[in-house]
Structure 1
Amino acid sequence: MAIQRLLVVLCVAWPCHAFAADVTELSEEAYLGEMPTVLTVSRLAQPVDESPSAVTVIDEETIRASGVVDLADIFRLVPGMYVGHNAGYFHTVNPTVSYHGLTDAYSRRMQVLIDGRSVYSPIYGGVQWSDIPLAIEDIARIEVTRGPNSASHGANSFLGVINIITKHTSETLGNMAVLTSGSDRKGLTLRHGGKEGDLQYRITAGLKNDQGIQARNDDKRIRILNLRADYRLNAQDELEFQFGYNGGDREEGMLEEDALVFLPRTKEVYNHFEQLNWRRTLGPEAEFKIQAYHSYDVSDDHVRSADLSFLPVPLLNPRLAFDHEVMTERYDLEAQHTFAPSATTRLAWGGGLRLDRTRSEVFLGTDDTERFRLSRLFGHLEWNPVQRLIVNAGAMLEHNSMTGSDLTPRFSVNYKLAPGHTLRAGISTATRTPTLLEEKFNMRILIPTAVPGLTLFEQQFLNPGRLSPERITSRELGYQGQVGALSLDARLFHDQIRDVIAQYRIEPFPHPADLTPISDRTLGNRNSSDLTVHGFEAQAQLRLGSHTRIIGNFSHIRINPDMDTTFTSSSEASRFEELQASMPVNSFSLLAWHRFGSGWMGTVGYYQLGETKMPGDGNHVDSARHWDLRLARSFTLGRTQNQISLTSQNAFDYDYQEFARYNSMQRRTYLQYRVDF
């Protein structure tokens, strides 16, 4: 049945007689020349039709043509991916970017890397997209592995991996300035790149003031600074150093009539990282490299409650206030050796060590620093026994201080039916380590009163720990094809997820005898029932010469409890219903641009999502669609290259909501001017 469905899709995409005719017109060399090379999936440089998993490549041309100013928006162009802005109220006023759903405001089941450095949060899971010290203008390409990839990148590479690859300093020599102004947002980015002998470097600085969505307390004032230096020691050795900083004010909180705590407020965040890479070239197919990085992130939040005088007891203070500082720090060291053992094989292997330090008195119920230690060994082998057959096999062995040891293997076979047409069949496994919030979230709000011996409290979360990692086994059948100017990537997938970590209500919940609870809504986390995620997704790209390009994506996804699932409580069943609805059944995106004469370029983007019901701070959102329009003009002025563009998001002002009904995205129009000199 799976093969029949795939063939139906292919015949719909191309008439079968044209399929047969065009195959003979495309040589093997021309075909390979058209296929982009990916670096992320197996840690080996491979054409996309030889990689062990489906992958979406978003290049610099696509990023610039789309006109995005928020990095998260670009992932709307990945089939099966969901983007929701301003998701939540408490340390979550931040885009949610998830693959195949199964998420609340924190997208915990996808790994995100920047030049190989993980920005996955150990306490929340997922990524704080607004807090990444990165300018969009410095991105060379983005590779998105659509499927589990723990074999290459370890735990939390569960449903997919995003790897953002920045430009080499040789590509950014000279100066650049970008000014953005429009609907409730302003921004300025400056960049200088230079060269001194064998040293090349760039410095990028930026400011952004984003007033977010109307009727929300979600303004962001963001400052970034990024430095990269590449130094060629000799013909074999190269050093790369990076430094990044992001800081500024973020607004959060609910309206007073809707909240007991978490009122509108402004918090300060800042983070920085330092990264050093050493690469030694050992031969045409051989390399040894070491990567080391350190990152530090602090959120300084002063939280106050609503007026509590309505409670039927006299209070010492009708308003409560507490400091909610969250600190995370990471040290990571990794080594990798790549070589070709024979004429038909290539191998990448290595290992790494990591230490995470986290402190959050409010979330974790202690002012102690939590430490998480991780060690790993990995290996990936590519074997080309005959001309048309590629076999990929790999595995990761990890040990961490929270859940112990895990082995996550992957195996796939790619067979080239003819030049330009490849079938892929694969099976992969992955794990997801519980976040600190899932394992140790212990949040209690104390309310002192004027009555002797009476202290009220609300125990919001109480996690006993001892969670097991989530586990996934993913099977896929994929097709990668190219006929002339049209390329297609289609896949059928079936994912079985075990030991799903889900919230449940603790009834009754334990509490000290000297404290009086004011509610019984205490939540905890535990390993619960199993899920299956299955469906079909496809991405197509059409290039008409050098002037026109069209990218289309479609996904159909079903999330269901395993047939043997039995729920132990109504809250657990309700949580699983939310997980089922956390991804639209059908979603579609289209981006098309055309270069006219005299430097003009026009872009049209169309995005359509089915209904969702997000867990946590989210709720039911109906099916929605919106159009983005962009018009740009490039011109030369003296020795400078200039571009001025006008972009309108949700250009026709449709009633478009994401994640929750309170996140209503109205038309946003902004003007951007870029000059390279």
Structure 2
Amino acid sequence: MYKTVILIFGLIVWMLASQAINAEEASDVYALDLEELLDVKVTSVSKKAQSLSDAPAAIFVISNEDIKRSGVTTIPDALRMAPGIDVARIDSNKWAVSSRGFNGRFANKLLVLIDGRNIYTPAFSGVYWEMQDVMMEDIDRIEVIRGPGAALWGANAVNGVINIITKHSADTQGGLVTGGGGTEELGFGSARYGTQLGEDTTGRVYMKGFKRDELISQDQSRSNDDWDKVQGGFRVDSLVTNADAFTVQGDAYHSNFNQKLNYPAFDTPNGIAFVNDKAQAHGANVVGRLQHTFSSTSSYTLQLFYDRYYREDIYIHEVRNTYDIDFQHRFALNGWNDIIWGGGYRYSESETRFDRTPAISFDPQNRGDQYFSAFLQDEISLVDNTLWLTLGSKFEHNDYTGFEYQPTARLMWTPHPSHKAWAAVSRAVRIPSRIDSDMTLRGSIIPAGQSPFPPFPVEATVNGSKSFDSEELLAYEVGYRFTFAKLFSLDVSAFFNEYESLRSFSPG
């Protein structure tokens, strides 16, 4: 009892201190005028730091202050603040997130990164959102690009790019504890501690967890989709020399989630079996990044990461290991060319097992895929401080379709500091995934005697194709930004997307 009282007292003191700090931070934010807020630096459009207002793309930034004031506890819910992003909650532990349409549980035309680590899975070219998490207080900003970003980020950056960027460890020094609970969020909490590890080295560690209740269906029945998760991680940042900065960070998690599923079966009257499934997922990742700065206009970055996850539910048991190396170099040429080039290699191997239901299978059962990439982009200053032309392309080779190219041309015009217009033409592709190429899915069981079928059950299957082509997009975009006063601005964008070779189903 004594320890409980001390703990409650400590939490109250901490909450009061936090309110004072938050009030001070809020006053700092309100002290900024709109022009300063629009001068937020973003890196996702050109892979270099530039003002949001100067970015020739439909980009929106969700700040740490936005997240704090909204009270959201998940990344998908935070993304609801970005215009043009479709976020739908399927059940207590699943979300559908996309940009510019094509939304669904397995949406596959949106590229998502956490601190430069690509988190989409080649299993279906999308994101398991329930498996991706960070400590919300550690998010510095979320940069959201609506429209293709494939010329820099590569395949699957078709309709958008989401880049979740966490804070430098030097900005998270000291201790932090959060917690809460309620009728749906039964309990959640996190703890973080940051410290100085050396003269030019800082680090932090964190731990978070939650337990969320099941939702109630429209017919007032229980959805059996409650879940829990625990996750921990670390980050270390070091200024090795005046020109070299090094970062290493990692996370590990374990989750248990219930789900109510159905699958086709011969031994039921209507050909459908319902099951309350107890599933689990766990995984870990580690990222190392070295940045060397030659000057204010020249630097290179080398990044390596390893990601492993294990996911088990009634349909599939999958273990996936991904190894990735990426290099990029930026330099200025002749005073009016700002060039960025680089290359990368990724190897992703998957081991699958099917022993709980015959509804799905893959051939081959285990597979490893290689991805080679290179990119080149040149930002050309046509008229000083007025007109810029950006030309670039990504070149990739994958084991499904071979060579792919994804060019872009972007024009930025600033006739007046308060008026900025841009236009872009881009090509992007969504390369095939394992389900497109290797999957056999029992789509449905048609009961016996159902006209016009024979007097015995019929199995309808969906089969992948080894000759599956990449889905292609040719996008035309225009945008306009206008800062009317310190308290008002307007950002408008329009687009026309032309798709080819979209995934379709053909009888056979």
TM-score in terms of structure 1 length: 0.63
Cα 1:373/1:488, change in 2 over 3 Å: same
User: Matches of 1:36 and 1:325 in 2, distance apart?
Assistant: 43
Q: CA deviation at 1:495?
A: 0.6
Correspondence for 1:45: 49
Q: 2:244 aligns with which of 233, 237, 248?
A: 237
Residue pair 2:38, 2:53 contacting (<8 A) in 1 also: no
Residue pair 2:436, 2:465 contacting (<8 A) in 1 also: no
Q: Which runs of 5+ in 1 are unaligned?
A: 1-28, 304-322, 448-454, 508-677
Q: 2:379 aligns with which of 375, 378, 382?
A: 382
Q: 1:393 aligns with which of 386, 391, 394?
A: 391
Q: Which runs of 5+ in 2 are unaligned?
A: 1-32, 217-221, 355-359, 446-455
Correspondence for 2:106: 106
Q: 2:343 aligns with which of 347, 351, 358?
A: 351
Correspondence for 2:155: 155
Correspondence for 2:30: none
User: Matches of 1:358 and 1:109 in 2, distance apart?
Assistant: 21
1:409-420 equivalences in 2 (<5 Å):
409-420=407-418
Cα 1:202/1:262, change in 2 over 3 Å: farther
Cα 1:367/1:268, change in 2 over 3 Å: farther
Residue pair 2:91, 2:215 contacting (<8 A) in 1 also: no
1:581-596 equivalences in 2 (<5 Å):
none
Tell me, what secondary structure is at the counterpart of 2:504? strand
- The aligned amino acid for 2:502 is V
Q: CA deviation at 1:31?
A: 5.0
Residue pair 2:413, 2:422 contacting (<8 A) in 1 also: yes
Correspondence for 2:257: 250
Correspondence for 1:553: none
1:300-336, CA deviations, whole angstroms, 9 ceiling, x for partnerless residues?
23x3xxxxxxxxxxxxxxxxxxx83112221100111
Cα 1:271/1:456, change in 2 over 3 Å: farther
Correspondence for 1:141: 141
Q: Does 1:199 align with 2:201?
A: yes
Cα 1:409/1:255, change in 2 over 3 Å: closer
Cα 1:239/1:352, change in 2 over 3 Å: same
Residue pair 1:445, 1:457 contacting (<8 A) in 2 also: no
RMSD, matched Cα = 2.4
Q: CA deviation at 1:34?
A: 4.0
Residue pair 2:97, 2:103 contacting (<8 A) in 1 also: no
Q: CA deviation at 1:418?
A: 1.2
Q: CA deviation at 1:440?
A: 1.5
Q: Does 1:77 align with 2:81?
A: yes
- The aligned amino acid for 2:423 is A
User: Matches of 1:262 and 1:122 in 2, distance apart?
Assistant: 28
- The aligned amino acid for 2:389 is V
Cα 1:210/1:341, change in 2 over 3 Å: same
User: Matches of 1:31 and 1:446 in 2, distance apart?
Assistant: 57
- The aligned amino acid for 2:101 is G
Residue pair 1:377, 1:398 contacting (<8 A) in 2 also: yes
User: Matches of 1:445 and 1:285 in 2, distance apart?
Assistant: 55
Q: CA deviation at 1:289?
A: 1.1
User: Matches of 1:276 and 1:259 in 2, distance apart?
Assistant: 50
User: Matches of 2:194 and 2:459 in 1, distance apart?
Assistant: 54
User: Matches of 1:68 and 1:32 in 2, distance apart?
Assistant: 26
Cα 1:178/1:443, change in 2 over 3 Å: same
- The aligned amino acid for 1:333 is I
User: Matches of 2:332 and 2:443 in 1, distance apart?
Assistant: 59
- The aligned amino acid for 1:493 is F
User: Matches of 2:460 and 2:282 in 1, distance apart?
Assistant: 29
- The aligned amino acid for 2:292 is R
Correspondence for 2:58: 54
Q: Does 1:296 align with 2:300?
A: no
Tell me, what secondary structure is at the counterpart of 2:137? helix
- The aligned amino acid for 2:201 is L
1:399-548 equivalences in 2 (<5 Å):
399-443=397-441, 458=459, 460-484=461-485, 485-504=487-506, 506-507=507-508
Q: CA deviation at 1:65?
A: 0.9
Q: CA deviation at 1:104?
A: 2.5
Correspondence for 2:331: 339
Correspondence for 1:8: none
Residue pair 1:446, 1:456 contacting (<8 A) in 2 also: no
User: Matches of 1:42 and 1:479 in 2, distance apart?
Assistant: 18
1:450-497, CA deviations, whole angstroms, 9 ceiling, x for partnerless residues?
xxxxx9994543223211101111111110121222122101110101
Q: 2:362 aligns with which of 347, 365, 369?
A: 365
TM-score in terms of structure 2 length: 0.83
Residue pair 2:41, 2:49 contacting (<8 A) in 1 also: yes
User: Matches of 2:74 and 2:36 in 1, distance apart?
Assistant: 33
Q: 1:213 aligns with which of 212, 215, 228?
A: 215
Cα 1:412/1:103, change in 2 over 3 Å: same
Q: 1:270 aligns with which of 282, 285, 298?
A: 282
User: Matches of 2:376 and 2:467 in 1, distance apart?
Assistant: 29
User: Matches of 2:271 and 2:103 in 1, distance apart?
Assistant: 23
Residue pair 1:360, 1:367 contacting (<8 A) in 2 also: no
Residue pair 1:87, 1:105 contacting (<8 A) in 2 also: no
Correspondence for 2:19: none
Q: CA deviation at 1:32?
A: 7.2
User: Matches of 1:427 and 1:188 in 2, distance apart?
Assistant: 45
Tell me, what secondary structure is at the counterpart of 2:151? helix
Number of residue pairs aligned between Structure 1 and Structure 2? 447
Cα 1:167/1:209, change in 2 over 3 Å: same
- The aligned amino acid for 2:246 is L
Q: CA deviation at 1:137?
A: 1.4
- The aligned amino acid for 1:168 is H
Matched-pair identity in %:
26
User: Matches of 1:33 and 1:207 in 2, distance apart?
Assistant: 33
Q: CA deviation at 1:383?
A: 1.7
Q: CA deviation at 1:393?
A: 1.4
Tell me, what secondary structure is at the counterpart of 1:40? coil
Cα 1:73/1:218, change in 2 over 3 Å: same
User: Matches of 1:165 and 1:259 in 2, distance apart?
Assistant: 47
Q: CA deviation at 1:377?
A: 0.6
Residue pair 1:86, 1:218 contacting (<8 A) in 2 also: no
- The aligned amino acid for 1:218 is D
Tell me, what secondary structure is at the counterpart of 2:283? strand
Q: CA deviation at 1:107?
A: 1.4
Q: Does 1:329 align with 2:329?
A: no
Q: CA deviation at 1:432?
A: 0.4
Residue pair 2:326, 2:344 contacting (<8 A) in 1 also: yes
Residue pair 1:132, 1:246 contacting (<8 A) in 2 also: no
Correspondence for 1:225: 232
User: Matches of 1:471 and 1:255 in 2, distance apart?
Assistant: 33
Q: Does 1:35 align with 2:32?
A: no
